[in-house]
Amino acid sequence: MEIQNLMQEIRENALDKMEKRSPEDLAASWSGEDILYSGKGNTIFIVLPTSGCAWAVSVSGGCTMCSYVADSPLEKVDSEELIDIFKKSIGKYEIKEKTVVKIFVSGSFLNPNEIPVRARNEILKILKNKENIEEVVVESRPEYITAEVLKECCKFLGNKIFEIGIGLETSNDYTREEKINKGFSREDFERALEIIKTTNLDCDVKAKAYLFVKPILTSEKNAIDEAVKSAEYAESVGVSRISFCPATIHKDTLMELLWKGGSYQPPWIWSIMEIIKQVRKSLDIPVIMDTAGFGSRRGPYNCKKCNSLLKNMIIDSNLNQTIPEDFECECKDKWRSEIEYGDITRSTTNLIRKK
Ligand code: SF4
Ligand SMILES: [Zn+2]
């Protein structure tokens, strides 16, 4: 496939430029407030280094917007080292009542070639023994979600919520295949959900869908419509939570190449507000909007006057699951014309560039 050849070339160039870093250096963690299934609580976020997302290092070249492979040591990290890094990371935090632990591996936690089974089981066992932890959240592509793996995870995690975030990105198979190069279909996603729903398990396994806002070659208006449709689809097939990821430009990706050439611009924050307003009205499940990169040159952007204000309104809307209030700023008319005329001009960048 043409896009895969291109992605392979981009990835090879990125890997050539990459500075080698140790697994310890690549690990990271932080804490904050979050919304749990039981209401407002706390989160501890832990990034574990692995040999890299199997999809990104395969002949596919990976997804068009993702540079997580650059956060990998690109060599096997053995179980002992991973367990040690995990223990050190979680040991830094006081585990308050109502805590969710999110483990991010820049790929699939359930793929034994990325996280060895021994490390996976040991990490879950450590979390099982911490009473204040209500939920454990991991990420995985659908092909690694099997009844066997889920049963084993539940055996080690015990009686907690185990949420698996799947990067569905969009409900549109064409967009996922041709614009994102994701390499799995809606059918694959639904198969994984079916396994989660029908397997008899000792812990409460839930599925979350990650949805990407504004893939390459998508107009501002279509980005809004597709995001809303995708969320409605994800709820209808049984996901328990949705997390939107509005585009930010990662280094050494096809998205960056198009952005540098003036053929792509991340979404307006107005568009993000519009998506939240629509999905809060039409969906019953919790929806979170990631605000990483908001107001930066490489992320969702409105204008200097309203970027931070709207970002804070969105963070508040995440924690309370409320519809943000209407807000006006002089930049909103530019966004309105983008929505109105972007399709006529077939523009996938902004009509008036905002720098
Ligand atoms: S988006 Fe996920 S599946 Fe795609 S390359 Fe990045 S980590 Fe891998
Ligand atoms: Zn503004």
pLDDT tens digits for range 176-226: 999 999 999 999 999 999 999 999 888 899 999 999 999 999 999 999 999
Tell me the one-letter amino acid at 251: K
pLDDT for 334 equals 96
Question: How many domains would you assign to the chain?
Answer: 1
| pLDDT computed for residue 351 by the predictor | 52
Question: Pairing between strand 241-246 and 204-213?
Answer: parallel
Whether 86 maps to a domain, the answer reads yes
Task: Considering every ligand atom shown, identify the ligand nearest to the alpha carbon of residue 11 and give its number.
Answer: 1
Q: Does residue 354 lie in a domain region? A: no
Residue 44 lies in a domain: yes
Distance (Å, whole) CA 4 – CA 60: 5
Q: Is residue 116 within 6 Å of ligand 1 at its C-beta?
A: no
Assigned domain for 323 exists: yes
pLDDT of residue 354: 46
Our answer on whether the CB atom of 43 is closer than 6 Å to any ligand 1 atom is no
Provide the pLDDT for residue 355.
41
Q: What ligand 1 atom has the least distance to the C-alpha of 53? A: 8
Ligand nearest to the Cα of 307, by number: 2
pTM of the model: 0.94
* pLDDT attached to residue 333: 97
223 in a domain, yes or no?
A: yes
CA of 2 to the centre of ligand 1 (A): 18
Domain harbouring 215, CATH code: 3.20.20
- The answer to whether the CB of 167 is under 6 A from ligand 1 is yes
Residue 106 near ligand 1, beta carbon < 6 Å: yes
Domain containing residue 294: 2-341
| Spatial separation of the C-alpha atoms in residues 158 and 202, rounded to whole Å | 7
Give the CA dihedral 281, 324, 216, 141, nearest 10 degrees. Answer: -60
Ligand 1 atom index nearest CA of 169? 1
**Which residue puts its alpha carbon closest to atom 6 of ligand 1?**
66
Q: Is residue 350 situated within a structural domain?
A: no
The string of DSSP letters for 110-173 reads T-TTTS-HHHHHHHHHHHHT-TTEEEEEEE--GGG--HHHHHHHHHHH-SSEEEEEEEEE-S-H
346 found inside a domain: no
In which residue ranges of the chain is pLDDT below 70?
Answer: 1, 343-355
Mark the residues whose beta carbon lies below 5 A from ion ligand 2: 302-303, 305-306, 329, 331
Q: Is residue 355 part of a domain?
A: no
Give the C-alpha separation, 155 to 39, whole Å. 26
Nearest-CA neighbor of 240 among 305, 171, 183, 287? 287
Q: Are the CB atoms for 60 and 119 separated by under 8 Å?
A: no
